Amino acid sequence: MCILILIFGSEQKCQRSQKFASEVGLPVLKNVVLLKTRGFCLCLEVLRGSLDAVYDVSIAYKHQLPTFLDNVFGTDPSEVHIHVRRIPAKEMPASDSEAATWLMDRVQLKDRLLSDFKAHGHFPNEGIEHELSTLRCFVNFTVGPFSIQRKNGSENHQLSRYRPVLD
């Protein structure tokens, strides 16, 4: 079993998160919203015995955030970049306060990762580019996981950039 960290939010939620962060002295994030750590800590507490890993997933779009219909018809985005970091359960902090601090550190790392993506157009150590048909993309999202490349034996994983192509 694993826990997936995937942060997303609307522009309005991001603005509210930034306002709240500045009011209470937390880091103001540009690309992600602040997380409420209690739910994460509770999941860790309850699942610790059966947990294999926590996966930190970051998804970035090269040009613009696609709409639902864009995804259905295989139009923009021309490139989707996915960065996956696997954190073994044995490396997770034991106490709630340490886990909350750890999660906030991860959120800040994710924010920097996405800022770097915006500046450079790719994640660090990104794999090669492949074309992926709409059908295969649909199958990957609904039936099974993407093929994940392991980089130099580390716990950082990345998917290659994919350019959806209509069949």
Which neighbouring-strand residues pair with 57?
A: 84
Q: What is the pLDDT of residues 124-148, one digit of tens each?
A: 877 655 665 667 666 665 654 444 4
CA 112 from chain center: how many Å? 12
Q: What is the pLDDT of residues 90-106, one digit of tens each?
A: 898 989 999 999 999 99
Spatial separation of the C-alpha atoms in residues 101 and 92, rounded to whole Å: 11
Say what the pTM is.
0.67
Identify the CA nearest to 56 among candidates 100, 98, 88, 97. Answer: 88
Domains of the chain, residue spans = 2-165
At 97 the pLDDT is: 93
At 161 the pLDDT is: 44
Residue where the block lists tokens 């602040």: 34
Q: CB-based contacts of 43: which residues, under 8 Å, 6+ apart?
A: 3
